[in-house]
Amino acid sequence: MSRPQRYQVVGTGVDTIKVSAVGKLREEVIAVLDALQQQAIAQRDERRQSGEALVDSHWKLDGEPVQIRAHGGGKGQWRWTGECPSARFDFGLGKLNGIGCQVRLASPFLWRRGYRDAWDRTETFLRRLFQKDTWFQTSEIHLCADVAGLAVDQLQEKAFVTRSQVKRWHLDDALVMHLATRSPRIEGMPTVEVVRRYRERETLSFSLSAAHSVMVYNKPREIRFKSRDKAWFADIWRANGWNGHDPVTRVEARYGRAMLHELGEQKQEGEKVGWHGLETVAETFAWLDGMWAYTTQDWLRHTLPTSLSSERWRTSPWWQVVQGAVFEREQAEPLQRTKQRNFQEERMLAALLGYVESWSAWRIGEQKLSEDILLEDALADVLDRAGEHYAHKGTVFLEEVARKRKRLGFAG
């Protein structure tokens, strides 16, 4: 008799958060941003260096220099843009909607520090730039639970039952299916998309473009093919009981501003979760478990289909584990930065040696390849040409190293 499959949550957290600063920048900060942007524009127009023109603001977030771009963002909505590895800041004068900045925190920062500490550091940074009456509103937040024991490819689309009105399943053969008919008033007509790679189901997306959506996907595969610098997730999973072999599926719920506002208005008696408002970041953090309960219990379920009506299908054992994910217990990865650095160094070394090998092969050309060829000789050849290269760019090695250190988040 086979043993029942064991499922377990091996990681939970906030993977993305976008926050709006409702208030005005200080006058002296506006002057500084204008001056920095002009410097960046001058650098861009000189065209002495490739890539984006960035100027150090001398402001720091978590020790990382925040640099200002030569242009704003959002098709003119934002006048200045600042960035560092941990966050992107879009600044404006707030004349239309009162929002003076929108900041998006990077996933590695949230996992490295934990979402509360990461936001506390960001809020401390922003308060130095804004007037005292500024407050911070959650614009978007993504919650995720990594569950071991079941591969995405084993999930059947028909087993998912949702409150949303699903009109189509986007598959290669354009199969049309009809599911539940109930629809929250802000949902519109969401769809479900299935993404496959090499004929294997990789991602299920529920209402991806809506204010409330869910993605179910193969997290190890996503890391392997798209985000290899996030291999440190395996350490979080192991710390929570992962055996290193079972498949890990990520269930990610995304909440946009419209959905957060909608949840904040739900105060009816009989609701499984009593929402008291999700306007500020603190209010949002206080209700993460309730938001997850709404998404996984009311809005979407994975079930065991029978001949009965889909509304009577029992919730699957795997989804019951998903429903039990808890977000109050933060899981930071303190060694993440070191592991990212080691990965980046290995990748750069491989690229560097590959270029030197190609350089040598090109320089030798039609000549016979000597068995005495040395790496040192190839590097010396590169060094001989470096002065000409930097003279053409109008810069020197020291300046370029300093510039790229700041891009990578290193101060000084």
C-alpha dihedral sign at 312, 313, 316, 319: negative
Q: Residue 16 above 90 pLDDT?
A: yes
Other C-beta atoms within 10 Å of 225: how many?
11
Q: Which region among 130-139, 267-276, 339-348 has the lowest average model confidence (pLDDT)?
A: 267-276
- Give me 205's structure tokens: 């997306």
Please say if the pLDDT value at position 281 is more than 80. yes
pLDDT surpasses 70 at 329: no
Residue 383 banded pLDDT, cuts 50, 70, 90: confident
**What CA–CA distance (Å, rounded) separates 330 from 213?**
23
pLDDT of residue 4: 54
Residue 8 CB partners (closer than 8 Å, separation 6+): 147, 148, 149, 240, 241, 242, 321
Q: Considering only residues 258 and 394, tell me which one the structure prediction assigns the higher pLDDT.
A: 258
Tokens 């993504």, residue located: 142
Enter the DSSP assignment of 310. Answer: G
Segment 93-121 shows an average pLDDT of 92
* Cβ pair 246, 148 in contact under 8 A: yes
Q: Which helix (H) or strand (E) element contains residue 272? A: none
pLDDT at 412 over 90: no
Per residue in 171-225, pLDDT tens? 332 222 222 333 344 444 345 565 555 555 678 888 888 889 999 999 888 888 7
Q: Closest Cα partner for 89 from 63, 119, 67, 112?
A: 67
Domain ranges in the chain are 8-14+142-323, 24-133, 336-407
- pLDDT averaged over the chain? 80
Q: Tens digit of pLDDT for each residue in 295-314? A: 999 899 999 988 887 778 89
Can you tell me the mean pLDDT for 79-95?
94
**R_g over Cα of the chain:** 25
Helices (H), 157-256: 219-225, 233-239
Amino acid identity, residue 283?
A: E
DSSP state of 299: I
Q: pLDDT value at position 320? A: 96
Q: How would you list the strands of the sheet with 300-304, edge to edge?
A: 160-162, 300-304, 314-315
Mean pLDDT of 109-125: 94
In whole angstroms, what is the distance from residue 349 CA to residue 345 CA? 6
Q: Please report the pLDDT score of residue 6 as a whole number.
A: 87
- Dist CA 271 CA 267 (whole Å): 8
pLDDT at position 308: 80
For residue 386, report the phi and psi dihedrals to the nearest 5 degrees.
-65, -40
- pTM for the model: 0.76
N- to C-terminal Cα separation, the chain: 64
* Angle at alpha carbon of residue 155, lines to 152 and 158, rounded to 5°: 145
Q: Token pair for residue 339? A: 């592991």
pLDDT at 187: 45
Report the Cα 180 to chain-centroid distance in Å: 31
> For residue 57, how many C-alpha atoms fall within 13 Å in the half-sphere facing its CB?
27
Say what the pLDDT of residue 346 is: 65
Residue 9 reports pLDDT greater than 90: yes
Output the pLDDT for position 277. Answer: 59
Residue 377 is predicted with a pLDDT of 81
Dihedral pair phi/psi, residue 407, rounded to 5°: -60, -35
C-alpha 314, offset from chain centre? 33
Write down the pLDDT at residue 207.
85
pLDDT of residue 378: 81
| 192-197/169-170 β-pairing | parallel
**Rounded average pLDDT over 243-259:** 93
Q: Is 47 left (phi over 0), alpha (psi -120 to 50) or beta?
A: left
Q: Does position 100 have pLDDT exceeding 50, yes or no? A: yes
Residue 256 φ/ψ region, left for φ over 0, alpha for ψ in the -120 to 50 degree band, beta for the rest:
beta
> Given this model, what pLDDT does residue 66 score?
95
φ/ψ of residue 212, rounded to 5 = -130, 120
> pLDDT over 70 for what percent of the chain?
78
Considering only CA atoms, which of 177, 216, 222 is closest in space to residue 197? 222
Q: For 27-31, 163-167, 225-229, 397-401, which range has the lowest pLDDT when averaged over its residues?
A: 163-167
CA gap 21, 397 in Å, rounded: 39
pLDDT at 153: 87
The confidence score (pLDDT) of residue 165 equals 39
Is the pLDDT at 361 greater than 90, yes or no? no
